Amino acid sequence: MLPPDVSRAAADETGAGARPERPPPHRPGFDPSAPAGMPHPDDSARGEAFRAMDRMRQALGAQATGGISPASLALAMFDWWIHLQSAPGKQLELVDKACRKAVRLATHVAAASADPATPPCIEPLPGDYRFRADGWRQPPFSWWSQAFLLQQQWWHNATHGVPGVAPHHEDVVSFAARQLLDMVSPSNMPLANPEIIERTVQARGTNFVQGYWNWLEDLGRLATGRPPVGTEEFVPGRSVAVTPGRVVLRNHLIEVIQYAPATGAVQAEPILIVPAWIMKYYILDLSPQNSLVRYLVERGHTVFCISWRNPTAADRDFGMDDYRRMGVMAALEAVGAIVPGARIHAAGYCLGGTLLAIAAAAMARAGDDRLASVTLLAAQTDFSEPGELALFIDHSQMHMLESMMWKRGYLSADQMAGAFQLLRTNDLVWSRLVHDYFMGGRTPMIDLMAWNADSTRMPYRMHAEYLQRLYLDNELAAGQFMVDGRPAALQNIRVPMFAVGTERDHVAPWRSVYKILQLADTDVTFVLTSGGHNAGIVSEPGRAGRRFRIAHKAAADLNVGPDEWAEAATVKDGSWWEDWTAWLDRHSAADRVPPPGMGAPDRGYPPLEEAPGSYVQQR
């Protein structure tokens, strides 16, 4: 949230509708000519000082809690507990389930004691690979894993379906219970994990020695602010982000990179890519074999991409509209000057897609027809069902986040990384503990993991506005997000749209991304691809095991729900990139043209340094 407005602080102090308390006539600083009930500036200043004390207290507390609001967690736990205590039917149901699960476990233990090949009585959830090794099928390890999975299932029942509990509080309690259970999983215990025991026997215990040195190395890097082991092999401009190009625009927030053509003729309409500012842009220009930018250039597209500045405390007052004006709109001006007369295919990824949707809606409202199409990659426009990230976003949590950002001027990369790790502790925390510290190995570094460690900061005002206006108030979907004093209504967008959701997205769940079909009054092609928020987008042709669903909805077609859409959509193997480029071709001019020059020096956009530019190197 923004710092409290003076008038709002005054209204809160007096109380809406309350009789204003006039100060005594001889109080220092009192202005007798001021209208009754109007606060004196000194009162507002003092009120702001009091608010500053509150923020400082929250910011200091956040250092001890990792940015998690204890009040938010306590409220959720109390809501769940008090309603569970007043629900005798739910209590009896849980007792019944506990008894039946105990019988299932005892029956399994007895059968497995006689025949180790006895099938398990419960299987892990899809995506849970902790107990996939053959050793977990043998007693006593099978008993422990089965007991853990049954207990995990019971706690899921205990934290869901308690009558009267607020849905958000239910999600928070369930998440907290899951975190505690994952912490004590037998897969994390050296004496209870058959894989660790087997490795210890083979290595004669040296795996723990190597794991100890791995831990010391990681601890040292964390303490000194250095990136994880192996990331030094993936440096932008050397091994990643190597598609040739030049920076053609630099302002305080962005660099715009124009990529060199790879074909003799190109599509007349250029492509502008708007990545998220929470990440470095080269997620879309990783290694040459999985670079979306290179893929587009090699197929005859003129590609421009925004590279966001890594903000500091001095940038604390940059807001959402600054990112729209100095980001998307400034980039469109540059592309329009370099490729004059051509309409532009705009593509936005994650937060960049949300910002692009806002910009496109505002442009449509103003009659600006420079866009040929809009593509949204794992980008939300309706935040009513934002997924597990919403666990960290409520009014109490917002107060703590705001206080942290108010103190520093930005949200730091380590604070964001911690939240994302909590969403996937099995994959990002506990599996690494077992592999690197107990088994003594090292998880091989790949380009996507190295990029993920190269995180950025977000300015105080921008991120507070983003969370308040979009996550909490859902202004964009409600048509209440104001740009230049007018609502940026998605229904005003008339250019064709292409939207991509990913099946295992913890950041932008695909059912939330899908809502663009219900918000936009235009033709929308929607793709649901395998993979997660990053790997589902970086899904180059030729990668084994990739698949996606695709369907087109005309503006006049009836809306259907996401599950009904998924059943009716066409299923394809391979990469969605190929279908997207074919879609772009269908919405472009038939004839190709000579490539434009690099930059437009005569229009104020001279080519500057070579790609990837300087902003991507900022730490």
Annotate 471-504 with DSSP letters as a single string: IIT-TTTTT--EETTEE--GGG--S-EEEEEEEE
When comparing pLDDT for 66 and 205, which is higher?
A: 205
Q: Which of 99, 121, 305, 350 is catalytic?
A: 350
Model confidence at 20, pLDDT cuts 50, 70, 90, reads: very low
Segment 130-147 shows an average pLDDT of 93
pLDDT tens digits, 207-257 = 999 999 999 999 999 888 888 899 999 999 999 999 999 999 999 999 999
Residue 17 has pLDDT above 70, yes or no: no
**pLDDT tens digits along 554-598:** 999 999 999 999 999 999 999 999 999 999 999 999 999 999 999
Kindly tell me the sign of the dihedral angle through the C-alpha atoms of 48, 49, 51, 56. Answer: positive
Burial 375-395 (b: 16+ CB within 10 A, else e): bbbbbbbbbeebbbbbbbbbe
Question: What is the rounded distance in angstroms from the CA atom of residue 343 to the CA atom of residue 271?
Answer: 9
Contact 536, 503 (CB under 8 A): yes
Per-residue pLDDT for 150 more than 70? yes
Of 240, 420, 273, 454, the C-alpha closest to 350 is 273
Q: Give ∠ CA 90-94-96 in degrees, rounded to 5.
A: 115
> Could you tell me if 541 and 513 are in contact, meaning their C-beta atoms sit under 8 angstroms apart?
no
Instruction: Provide the pLDDT for residue 66.
Output: 66
User: Could you tell me the sign of the dihedral formed by the alpha carbons of 402, 407, 409, 412, in that order?
Assistant: negative
Percent of the chain with pLDDT strictly greater than 90 = 71
Q: pLDDT at position 420, please? A: 62
Pairing of strands 254-259, 245-250: antiparallel
CB 408 within 8 A of CB 67: no
d(CA 513, CA 524): 12
Residue 121 falls in the annotated catalytic set: no
The mean-pLDDT minimum among 1-5, 82-86, 418-422, 451-455 falls in 1-5
Phi/psi of residue 542, each to 5°?
100, -10
Environment class of residue 399 by beta-carbon count within 10 Å: exposed (0-12), middle (13-18) or buried (19+)? middle
User: What CATH number matches the domain at 245-384+474-617, 3.30.450.20, 3.40.50.1820, 3.90.1150.10, 2.130.10.10?
Assistant: 3.40.50.1820
pLDDT-derived band at 19, boundaries 50, 70, 90: very low
pLDDT band at 72 (very low <50, low <70, confident <90, very high): confident
**Given pLDDT bands bounded at 50, 70 and 90, which one contains residue 62?**
low
Give the pLDDT band (50/70/90) at residue 260.
very high
Question: How does strand 482-483 pair with strand 486-487?
Answer: antiparallel
Q: Which of 378, 374, 380, 381 is nearest to 273 (CA)?
A: 374
Lowest mean pLDDT among 118-132, 272-286, 595-609: 118-132
Mean pLDDT of the chain: 88
pLDDT band at 71 (very low <50, low <70, confident <90, very high): confident
Asked if 461 and 409 count as a contact pair (C-beta separation under 8 A), the reply is no
- Report the first-to-last Cα separation within the chain, whole angstroms: 26
**Cα 425 from chain centre:** 16
pLDDT, average across residues 371-393: 89
pLDDT for 83 equals 97
Count CA within 13 A, CB hemisphere, residue 86. 8
Within 13 Å of residue 590, how many CA atoms lie on the same side as its CB?
0
Dihedral of CA atoms 588, 589, 593, 596 in degrees, nearest 10, equals -50
Structural domain spans, the chain = 72-187, 245-384+474-617
Q: Are 520 and 490 in contact (CB under 8 A)?
A: yes
Two tokens, residue 48: 């702001």
Beta-carbon contacts of 167 under 8 Å, excluding residues fewer than 6 positions away, are none
- Give the pLDDT band of residue 423 (cuts 50, 70, 90): low
pLDDT band at 400 (very low <50, low <70, confident <90, very high): confident
- Token pair listed for 21: 């308390």
- Range from 74-78, 409-413, 514-518 carrying the lowest mean pLDDT: 409-413
pLDDT over threshold 50, residue 481 = yes
Look at residues 487, 466, 468, 465 and name the one whose alpha carbon lies nearest to residue 478. 487
Q: How many CB atoms lie within 10 A of CB 284?
A: 26
Give the DSSP H or E segment for 525: strand 524-532
pTM over 0.75: yes
Q: Per-residue pLDDT averaged across 528-544, rounded?
A: 94
Query: Which pLDDT score, from 0 to 100, does residue 118 have?
Result: 87
- Residue 291, amino acid: S
- What is the DSSP-derived secondary structure letter of residue 266? B
DSSP single-letter state for residue 271: E
pLDDT at 22 over 60: no
In the structure, what pLDDT confidence band is assigned to residue 407 with cuts at 50, 70 and 90? confident
Q: Is the peptide bond before 487 cis (omega within 30 degrees of 0)?
A: no
Q: Per residue, what are the HEC states of 79-106?
A: HHHHHHHCCHHHHHHHHHHHHHHHHHHH
Residue 275: what pLDDT? 96
How many alpha carbons lie under 13 Å from residue 131 in its C-beta half-sphere? 23
Confidence of residue 37 (pLDDT cuts 50, 70, 90): low
Q: Which two tokens stand for residue 154?
A: 């019971």
Confidence band for 39, pLDDT divided at 50, 70 and 90: low
- Structural Rg of the chain based on CA atoms: 27
What three-state secondary structure class fits 254? strand
Where in 378-431 does DSSP place strands (E)? 410-411
Cβ neighbours of residue 83 closer than 8 Å, sequence gap 6 or more: 162, 163, 164, 165
- Give the model's pLDDT for residue 279: 86
CA atoms of 425 and 182, how far apart (whole Å):
8
Q: What percent of the chain has pLDDT over 70?
A: 89
List, in sequence order, the alpha helices (H) in 228-370: 292-298, 320-323, 330-338, 351-366
Q: Is the peptide bond before 140 cis (omega within 30 degrees of 0)?
A: yes
